[in-house]
Structure 1
Amino acid sequence: MEITTSYLAQKIDGKLFGPDKRINGIFNFLGDARHGDAVVRHWINEKGIEIAVEKGVSCIVTQNPHENAVETAEKLDLPLIVTERIELANAFAIEWAVKRFADDALRIVVTGTNGKSTTTHMIHKILEDAGYNTYTNTDPQSEFNTLIDPIVGKQIAEFPGKIEAMVVEVSEVQGWLDNLMKDHAQIMTSAVDPEVVVLTNVSLDHIGLVNSIEEAFHEISGAVKALASNSNTHEKTFAILNKEDPLIKKMANMIGPKTNLIFYGNCDSEKGPKCKEKDENDKGCSEVEICAKGITHNGDVVVPLEKLPFKSKHFLQNTMASVGAALAVKIPSELIEESVSSYKPLKRRFSVLHENPTIIDDFAHNPDGIIATIKSAAESLTTNGHLYIVSAIRGSRGESINSANAQAIAEGLNGLKGLKNSLIVTSSLDVVDMNNTVKPHEKRVFLENLEKRGLKYEFHEKLQTAVEAVLKSAKPQDTILLIGAQGMDPVSDLLDELIHEDV
């Protein structure tokens, strides 16, 4: 699939400065670029242009040319494309890479507010265990699911061996600073052109980019819209929908005529919908459910309850979604059972780091995730156990999300029905970089919201002192829950050091 700079500019609504040249390489970062590559950068200055010329790249694509970047590019005869939406360039990079390197691969997209990474990771394991050479962009830090740089297109192009299957995690909402990249999930899902789309749930996380549940619904539902609009490239497609989430349930009305539905959820859920409510001869709808005997598909057991490695609600939701996706691409039930039963979770996904006391680490970083994680941690308490929560404030993310997270902690603790608990809050000043530093107003709004709800807490500026405090207080029968995003990321290594010192 040969392309030129003028063609690329036209496809991404960009303006080309400089000559029309053939692009001979892949889409890449400036630091890794080789001769012939097209470099995509959110911004670039004249120094970056000079580096690109030295590397012999085919062109630069940017949204923000700084200083004399345009004049320097023209002077040095380097094609420079300026677009108002850099995400269009990255979507084009993904589409180009898929068509060139994975055109006949099984392709699955996972999106939603919570559970994307675990679901993607589990589907990837099932496909690998089934013998497919499988690409995924999911990693423990969720660094590659944003798709706001050319990482996925680059990874596909450089993937070792032939890609036989791919499962791509798509961020449900994305933006730069306070600017929403509108329809991100739809644009990126369309670029991947999957046979299967998995939807986890709809809740608020990226407050400031989207400010209502309706806006979040619009962004996330874009993945289903993309599946419908791209359906002419596939004989059959599948939408895997969480029937317990009322907004995900609504997306069933957006699917195209060639898309089959697989609903997943609790078999006792009254939140429906039920496939049996449809025409009994309709083969385009089925259900993956969790019942007393395990995870079932239309009543037949796929993974027996005793074979499930974890049984928390959010893990079961992710597992049902993964089972639905695997069944959609015709993975045998016996292999699904074997793969799920041996699954090891991603780092910081309800990971048990220590026993006696039980220490659980989770990436819970938005209200729904926080409430679910507190509930699951409480269920792990032994008789007479005490639940300690250490929560990291989200740095440089604004007041709205920190206010909502504090309220979620209060709601989660209020639902514990008399269980003994203590809360420790930290700004993680000793471990975060400048992009994740807690601002004074973020700290203030977080703590004020706790106080408004009558919660007592202990505050520590440093993560290390917060962890030292909870280790000093906790008894062997207690549970310590560590929650938060970047501010809690280093906690595993920190714990290793502190526990080793105690030993």
Structure 2
Amino acid sequence: MITVQGVQNQTIAVLGLGRSGRATVAALAAGGAQVVVWDDGVDTREQAAQDGLQVLDLTREQDWAGISALITSPGIPHLYPRPHPVIARAYDLGVPVDNDIGLFFRSFATTDWEQFATTPRVIAVTGSNGKSTTTALIHHILREAGRPTQMGGNIGTGVLSLEPAHDGEVVVLELSSYQTDLARALTPDVAVFTNLSPDHLDRHGGLGGYFAAKRRLFAEGGPDRAVIGVDEVEGNYLANQLAMSAADDRVIRVASGQKLEGFGWSVFARKGFLSEYRKGRQVASFDLREVTGLPGAHNHQNACAAYAATRAVGIPPREIERAFHSFQGLPHRSQTVAEIDGVRWVNDSKATNVDAAAKALAAFPRIRWIAGGMGKEGGIEALTPFLGTVVKAYLIGHSARDFALQIGQIPYEIAETMEQAIARAKAEAQPGETVLLAPAAASFDQYPDFEKRGEHFTALVQALQP
């Protein structure tokens, strides 16, 4: 656990008692704070009281006496579409509002570090797509290279539940826009921006607000190195804002599909090959096409970002390349589940929208596509340009018939259930083809979440193996 510093004998309020809220309570108490809590859920409040926590109704002004700060969970709106009433009350009273990310960055460094031979470092990853894969890949590379490392934030362990740093350790954090938007302290050593596509727009008041939340990690944080994906205009703008000149190697530009040669430091993937350039010269290159855990151009962008981040903390190129080949990918994200009789079975249950499904469909040459579920507004007509590799679609769930009307001339079958879709794909797939679960839809018609959908797919496929 990270003990929060600078709060001794202060009364700190915590709003929201989920995983991060509970960890925040413990970390504040360890730092000597008197902690009071509030949650909108009656059952949660009752459980907190039974656990010995002091529950105050923070919707009432009279319960704010003596409170010096409010720490809120990331999922609770603090600005758009409107602030939560408790947060609005804090604003009215002038009580500073922060989150666990802000507490982490102000508390991670301790006097113990004076005894370390090598100062610990933090790599923080944000962006719209690929940040979980990029974070996990960075962590995997560091571990394979023998560097002490922890991973947390929006993936795995909450930031305040991480262990205090060891000598030379690198902590890798995935940070969502919800987390970067409010944190009062953001001081990573290396910050990574993967890409930007529209998401959470109601929470951020539009695309500009969403980008601004991501940008705070760089503008507020002042990292020693900034790894910036420049395949979209927002990343190109951010790299330009941070660099003093094209030769400024504090900014490492990364891209998938375009060549980046005229900069102080760049990493890019083209035609399946990753290249690193420094001061106009190529210093490393290797083939990504045989890295089974990172299929497709979108994963090649993730690979470039992870490569750049780990190079920035001193990992040699060949060690990174070796680690790539042992990376299995994250569950439900272009995850190869099995290869049976020459047919590859891939679980991309996380592809719950058109953009994510398009990236998955672009990653493989001959696809038997399992799609459907609870379709989203606009359907899947926007996927039409990406269906050229689809041999046949097997449509499941609530939107199966709607999807059938939107895929043009692609052969399809209404399979209804995952079991039937897999059975039909198994009967018809030929060697060299890929059976891809990329639903382009939410899971809630048949499953509680995309993870359970992916786990069902995986279990059914594994049962096919001899």
In the alignment, which of 256, 268, 282 is matched to residue 300 of structure 1?
282
For 1:281, the equivalent position in structure 2 comes to: none
Contact 2:254 2:267 in 1 (8 A): yes
Which amino acid is the alignment partner of residue 29 of structure 1?
A: R
For 2:357, the equivalent position in structure 1 comes to: 370
In structure 1, list runs of 5 or more residues that go unmatched: 15-25, 145-150, 175-183, 232-236, 277-284, 382-386, 428-442
1:41-83 C-alpha deviation (Å, 9 max, x unpaired): 77256765565455444x66x9x858x9987x99xx9999654
For 1:21, the equivalent position in structure 2 comes to: none
- Cα distance, 1:152 vs. partner? 2.2
Distance 1:125 1:287, change over 3 A: same
Query: Does the alignment pair 1:422 with 2:393?
Result: yes
In structure 2, list runs of 5 or more residues that go unmatched: 71-85, 91-95, 114-118, 443-448
Query: Does the alignment pair 1:470 with 2:425?
Result: yes
Q: Secondary structure at the match of 1:424?
A: strand
Question: Please, what is the CA RMSD of the aligned residues?
Answer: 4.4
- Report 1:446-485 matches (<5 A): 448=402, 451=405, 454=408, 458-459=413-414, 462-484=417-439
1:156-177 C-alpha deviation (Å, 9 max, x unpaired): 2x468567111111113x4xxx
Distance 1:447 1:128, change over 3 A: same
For 1:309, the equivalent position in structure 2 comes to: 291
**Range with bigger deviation, 489-498 or 473-482:** 489-498
Tell me, in whole angstroms, the C-alpha distance in 1 between the residues paired with 2:409 and 2:288. 38
Distance 1:408 1:354, change over 3 A: farther
- Report 1:71-470 matches (<5 A): 82-84=86-88, 88-100=98-110, 104-137=119-152, 144=156, 152-156=158-162, 158=163, 164-172=169-177, 174=178, 184-188=179-183, 191-206=185-200, 208-209=202-203, 213-228=207-222, 237-255=224-242, 260-266=250-256, 268-269=258-259, 275-276=262-263, 285-290=264-269, 294-298=273-277, 299-305=281-287, 309-310=291-292, 312-355=296-339, 356=341, 357-362=343-348, 363-377=350-364, 379=365, 381=366, 387-393=367-373, 402-404=376-378, 406-413=380-387, 415-416=388-389, 420-427=391-398, 443=399, 448=402, 451=405, 454=408, 458-459=413-414, 462-470=417-425
For 2:82, the equivalent position in structure 1 comes to: none
Normalising to structure 2: TM-score of the pair?
A: 0.71
1:80-104 C-alpha deviation (Å, 9 max, x unpaired): 9654489823234323442459974
Tell me, in whole angstroms, the C-alpha distance in 2 between the residues paired with 1:411 and 1:293. 21
- Cα distance, 1:218 vs. partner? 3.0
Tell me, in whole angstroms, the C-alpha distance in 2 between the residues paired with 1:253 and 1:54. 53
Instruction: Indicate the percent of aligned positions where both proteins have the same amino acid.
Output: 20
- Cα distance, 1:450 vs. partner? 5.9
Tell me, in whole angstroms, the C-alpha distance in 2 between the residues paired with 1:488 and 1:306. 27
- Cα distance, 1:318 vs. partner? 1.0
Query: Does the alignment pair 1:29 with 2:9?
Result: no
Distance 1:248 1:3, change over 3 A: same
Distance 1:162 1:97, change over 3 A: farther
Tell me, in whole angstroms, the C-alpha distance in 2 between the residues paired with 1:90 and 1:31. 6
Tell me, in whole angstroms, the C-alpha distance in 2 between the residues paired with 1:452 and 1:388. 17
Task: Report how many residues are paired.
Answer: 410
- Cα distance, 1:110 vs. partner? 0.8
Which amino acid is the alignment partner of residue 287 of structure 1?
A: S
Distance 1:487 1:470, change over 3 A: farther
Which amino acid is the alignment partner of residue 152 of structure 1?
A: G
- Cα distance, 1:261 vs. partner? 1.0
Tell me, in whole angstroms, the C-alpha distance in 1 between the residues paired with 2:148 and 2:219. 28
Tell me, in whole angstroms, the C-alpha distance in 2 between the residues paired with 1:155 and 1:202. 29
Distance 1:253 1:422, change over 3 A: same
In the alignment, which of 3, 7, 14 is matched to residue 3 of structure 1?
7
